[in-house]
Amino acid sequence: MGLDVLRWALATCDAGQRVVVASVVTTSGSVPGKAGAKLALCAGPTWNGTVGGAGLEERVKAAMLERLEAPGRPMGAVLTYGLHRGAKGYEVVALDSLCGGRVTVSIDVLNPTPHVLLMGGGHCAVAFAQLAEQLGWRTSVQDTREAYATSEQHPVAVERHVSSVEAFLAKENAESLARFTDILLLGHDHVEDRERLHGLLERFAAAQQTPGRLGTPRIGCIGSRAKWTSFRDGCMDAGLPEAVVEAVVCPIGLNIGAETPEEIAVAVAASIMASEAGLAPGAPTWRDAL
């Protein structure tokens, strides 16, 4: 059973969702779940497995949900529960239970490895894909031009799509797009990027999801602020929800004076890393306090 739970957790994480896994480490006395019992939980919430059920499981799920919904990369924990209303709270988490035993549970957080969809496979996309490979990230590519989505151009791409924007998006919805942590609009033609943007946002709006929310890919668009103003106005005129539109990042990347495709790749990767860590670019870190 524990192996099945771990398989489910890993498959769900590979599909782009954060997963929290709880494992019973040690027990003493009368308890509902034995050592090795596992419970995995993802957005929904949806879960697989059990750590014993009853009040213990509900308390464990509550602790798991806190970490599931926390920004950045939340830490795991080791918690000990006393299954009796008289358990000393300063030693354990006391539960109103008649079992009388104790259970120690470890809680681990599995964050998905960034999987970035590059919509437009040109110079910036190639530079980003090369950097992403060094970071251990995954990339996929979509382009209307066959030469820019080949195995020669993008040798490590998980997916390669050569199709019109309309044809690509016709096969996608908000749920299927959740396999990506980020979607970057890097097209050679602003008309194509506009079509991509509208199509993506329509799908998130229909599902009442906001880009960048837990389990939903962040969307970034390369270009100037003037380009974004035009894109934003077009989205608003099309009736797309303001919250969905404003969640798009344009221009993409940290402001480090990047000019070449390689420099832009560094700036964009750094921005994604900051988002993954729950940091605002340029915000002070703990090192600033030293």
Read off the pLDDT of residues 209-254 as tens digits, 9 standing for 90 and up. Answer: 999 887 789 999 998 889 999 999 999 999 999 999 999 999 999 9
Predicted confidence band at 57 (pLDDT cuts at 50, 70, 90)?
Answer: confident
Q: Are 56 and 121 contained in the same domain? A: no
Do 32 and 80 lie in one domain? The reply is yes
61 has pLDDT over 80: yes
Query: Both tokens of residue 67?
Result: 């970490």
Q: In which domain, by residue range, is 37 found?
A: 2-110
Are residues 105 and 160 part of one domain? no
Q: Which residues lie across from 143 on neighbouring strands?
A: 162
Q: How many CA atoms lie within 13 A of 274 on its CB side?
A: 17
Question: Residue 284, preceding bond cis, omega within 30 degrees?
Answer: no
Burial class (CB in 10 A: 0-12, 13-18, 19+), 92: middle
pLDDT at 39 over 80: yes
Rounded-to-integer distance, Cα 66 and Cα 79, Å:
14
Residue 94 CA to residue 193 CA, distance in Å, equals: 55
Q: Indicate the DSSP class of residue 13.
A: H
**Mean pLDDT value across the chain:** 88
Examine residue 288 and state whether it is found in any structural domain, yes or no.
no
Confirm if 105 and 134 have CB atoms less than 8 A apart: no
Q: Verify that 173 and 83 share a domain, yes or no.
A: no
What's the pTM? 0.82
Residues 190 and 213 in one domain: yes
Contact yes or no for 161/181 (Cβ under 8 A): no
- 60, 148: one domain: no
